[in-house]
Structure 1
Amino acid sequence: MGSISFLVMHSGRWNEDNCCINYTIEAIMLKEYVTFRDLLDEVAKQIGVDLRFNNVKLKYKIEGSNAPLEIHNEIGVRVYVSLKKDNKELTKYHLCVSVYVNDCELADRNLLEDGVGMCGIDGGDIV
């Protein structure tokens, strides 16, 4: 059983062109047959997010697509792992992580707490 390495981008946001910007980046290595739950747990542990109080969305972009793909179940994990196995370049198919607290994205929540903005359901993504 092999392992896959990938980059995780977090603490940033998606811009209007569906590109991750202003992010922090980290590397993770997981077993090839990782489950969706294991992937969520490892990403959350790596970036310091407690899944008891937060929700996490995992997205990545592929060439030729304007919109990112979201990994939200076992099939999504299998597709992602398959892409990573075919292209082992570390910077290819990095995961962009969005963190939500009480249905508000973390950046929008921080703006609200600072009195600068309002938290809306359709706000910009945190990666």
Structure 2
Amino acid sequence: MELINIFLHYNGEWNETYEYKNFKKAELLVPLECTFNMLAEEIYLELELNQTIMEITIQYQVKHNDPPIKIKTTKSLVFYLELKRKHKDFTSFSLCIDFSTVTNSSASFNLHEGLELQKTAAASSSDMLQLQLYEKNNTTIIVRPRLPTVEYIAYEVLIGCPVLTT
């Protein structure tokens, strides 16, 4: 399995001349057969980001001051990896990672037989038991941490329907 070195630039900002400024650096070693989902998972792990509340955008530049190119599918990732593999300078084509918080809404909705939950942007003091509600592409998504706790199982029994996990 052939591996490729990728440098990550993150927590920066794009200026008006398409320069990514004021960023931090990290590195990844990924297989050439990497899929988009595998790369995204590695980035989330390396940058210690919570996938349920943070969204990432993966971009790179071919030339200085050119608009960045987004990697959003396995096909676009294969193109990037082939470009990276053919280029001799291992520091070229760093990935620029931007994150944003998944947006919350203040609207309420009916979850099960009249039980209403209010979506809020602020976290409650009982973070361990709270459901994480957010909207992505106009779809309401309910998530909880990956490992179910006794409290979540009891809550599912109480409301009579499962809560989706990520």
| Structure 1 residues 91 and 103: CA distance shift in structure 2, 3 A | farther
State the Cα deviation string for residues 84-103 of structure 1 (Å, max 9, x = none).
11014221000000101024
- Counterpart of 1:37 in structure 2 is 37
Which structure has the larger Rg?
Answer: 2
- Counterpart of 2:111 in structure 1 is none
What TM-score do the two structures reach when normalised by structure 1? 0.76
- Whole-angstrom distance in 2 between the partners of 1:102 and 1:39: 20
Structure 1 window deviating more from structure 2 (61-70 vs 3-12): it is: 61-70
Unaligned runs of 5+ in 2: 105-166
Structural RMSD (CA): 1.7
**Which has a greater percent of helix?**
1
Identical aligned residues as a percent: 20
How does 1:46-61 map onto structure 2 within 5 Å?
46-61=46-61
- 1:95 partnered with 2:95: yes
What TM-score do the two structures reach when normalised by structure 2? 0.59
User: Bigger relative contact order, structure 1 or 2, given CA contacts below 8 A and separation 6+?
Assistant: 1
State the Cα deviation string for residues 52-91 of structure 1 (Å, max 9, x = none).
2111000000027721000000111100110111014221
Question: How many pairs are equivalent?
Answer: 104
Structure 2 SS opposite 1:39: helix
State the Cα deviation string for residues 2-38 of structure 1 (Å, max 9, x = none).
0000100001111111111000011110011000000
Large movers: runs of 4+ above 4 Å: none
Q: Give, as a single letter, the amino acid of the residue that structure 2 aligns with 1:10.
A: Y
- Counterpart of 1:68 in structure 2 is 68
- 1:84 partnered with 2:93: no
